[in-house]
Amino acid sequence: NAGVTQTPKFQVLKTGQSMTLQCAQDMNHEYMSWYRQDPGMGLRLIHYSVGAGITDQGEVPNGYNVSRSTTEDFPLRLLSAAPSQTSVYFCASSYGDRGWVGELFFGEGSRLTVL
């Protein structure tokens, strides 16, 4: 029962470095998304996808790229890390087959620190 798997769980970067957060789900969900969670704020949507080959921007997309080449995988790329990207990142998926998100299933989160 893997569900949604995120790697790495912890990462420290220097300003300007790039990296990829990996996300994989084994539930055959069409909808996948990336959020960031900062203290005192609600989760904010970075990017989402409603199926392989389809991605769209959320509320805070700047500085991040995504791709969806398969149903299972939805990696998040930080192009040039900045201290403002220090956060906890969650990948989440759902069936999304009725024209709306429905119940989201989350990965365990990735804690990123940018120095």
Select the span of 11-19, 20-28, 66-74, 95-103 touching other proteins (CB under 8 A).
95-103
Sketch the per residue contact string, 51 through 90, with other proteins: x for CB under 8 A, - otherwise.
Answer: -----x-xx------------------------------x
List, in sequence order, every residue forming a beta bridge with 35; answer none if it has no partner.
45, 90
Nearer to other proteins, 2 or 41 (CB): 41
Q: What is the 3 state secondary structure string of 4-59?
A: EEEECCEEEECCCCCEEEEEEECCCCCEEEEEEECCCCCCEEEEEEEECCEEEECC
How far apart CA 90 and CA 2 sit, in angstroms, is 15
Out of 24, 104, 112, 114, the residue judged to bind other proteins by CB under 8 A: 104
Tokens of 34: 């990336």
The answer to whether residue 26 forms part of the interface with other proteins (CB under 8 A) is no
**Chain residues in the site for other proteins (CB under 8 A):** 31, 35, 40-45, 48, 50, 56, 58-59, 90, 96, 99-101, 103-104, 106-109
